[in-house]
Amino acid sequence: MDTRPITAYRYRRRLMSKAIIIPADKKLRRQVLGGFVITAVLALWLVYSLNIHAWTLLNSSDPRDHQRLLTLIRWIFYTMPVFVFGFVGWLLWLARRILEANQYPLPGQRVIRPTLLRTGTQARRMGFGLIAISIALLVLEMLLTYYAMQILQLVEPLPTPNNVSHFIRLSNSPAI
């Protein structure tokens, strides 16, 4: 009988010796890594090309180009939540399936690295953790969208009688 105090290392080794480990799927790992690389390259290309386009519009002397830049920024702000809401929906769907199966990873699910099979309370924690992450992402996206719209209104306020007369008054005032 081992009388030495239990350290975190020994405790983990004891748990791992009794645990069921789902082996990693090397083909899935290659597919996921390739997908991430392709997505990163496309995202960098998109950011680079939008940056060039935005600077071209910003440095233009035509006032319509500034309006086009605001339209471009507005479209970016409107399309960002679509991807986040899709990801949140997928996380909620996965959490619901984990809670129903009472097992993580799900039966038949392929994994990227060797994963400890969690059942019972541990699986429920994983499911509720995914729900908490999705709620946090949803709240964060709603706040970011709200503040993005506030910034757009500061840059280009909506035409109401108050601010239209304010702009007319400013444009008719003598230069200082």
Pairing of strands 118-119, 103-104: antiparallel
Asked, for residue 167, whether it belongs to a domain, the answer is no
Counted domains in the chain: 1
Residue 5, domain member (yes or no)? no
Predicted pLDDT of residue 73: 83
- Indicate the range of 24-38, 69-83, 151-165 predicted with least confidence: 151-165
Reported as a pLDDT band with limits 50, 70 and 90, residue 53 is confident
Residue carrying the six token digits 């060039």: 52
Domain contains 164: no
Is residue 168 in some structural domain?
no
Question: Tokens 């400013």 — which residue?
Answer: 170
- The answer to whether position 51 is within a domain reads yes
For the chain, the average pLDDT equals: 84
Instruction: Say how far apart CA 122 and CA 128 lie, in whole Å.
Output: 10
Does the pLDDT of residue 165 top 80, yes or no?
A: no
What mean pLDDT comes out for the span 80-87? 93
pLDDT for the residue 83: 92
Q: Is residue 146 part of a domain?
A: yes
Residue 60 inside a domain? The answer is yes
Question: Distance between CA 99 and CA 95 in Å, rounded?
Answer: 6
Strand, coil or helix: 116: strand
What is the C-alpha to C-alpha distance for residues 140 and 80, in angstroms, rounded to an integer? 12
161, part of any domain: no
Which domain does 150 fall in, by range?
18-156
